[in-house]
Structure 1
């Protein structure tokens, strides 16, 4: 068994990974794809292709300190509740009207998507 990795040659983004039984047939059917051993761990969420090699996507280093979200890369998209925001590269002060725990998803290519929870408490 082998894996066929279809990816974007410009960005390295992996579109899909297919388990395949025959290397020669796979090379004919998917001439632009990367062929790797079935033992190689490959997922679109955690890996990219660089120079014809599957490598780990870099991790983000986002932290929550008090009411501030730190380490968000400029241009990252923040998905908070039903809204989407774009980071400008500075620390982000978190302000919410509802007292609840909010999940914040941070996405920017080629970094692995990051998610943090922020518990909004009343100021009493």
Structure 2
């Protein structure tokens, strides 16, 4: 027997509201886009006063100038950078080759000096 009255019984949850009465989910995609306005156009953004739009997977400046440099200049700088990187790689390769050749010459000279030293003993 409970001490202060009846046993615990929670309130019943209210019934859920009925589903939407709209029939838009029955429409085909093109009609739904027209009705709901799902055609947003190209995404655009403004960074540091520069307006950019997203086209073909890349952000492109709407004015044709990106960060104060036009596209042709940017492409020229990109090609120059790639050329510099490849030349830097070649320079490293030649320096490594030169160092290796010098090392082999020193080892050969050291072996010759050791053999001359052995003959004298």
TMscore range, shorter length: under 0.3
- Larger strand share, 1 or 2: 1
Specify which structure has the bigger relative contact order, considering alpha-carbon pairs within 8 angstroms and separated by 6 or more residues: 1
TM-score after normalising by structure 1: 0.22
- Larger helix share, 1 or 2: 2
Which entry has the higher C-alpha Rg, 1 or 2?
2
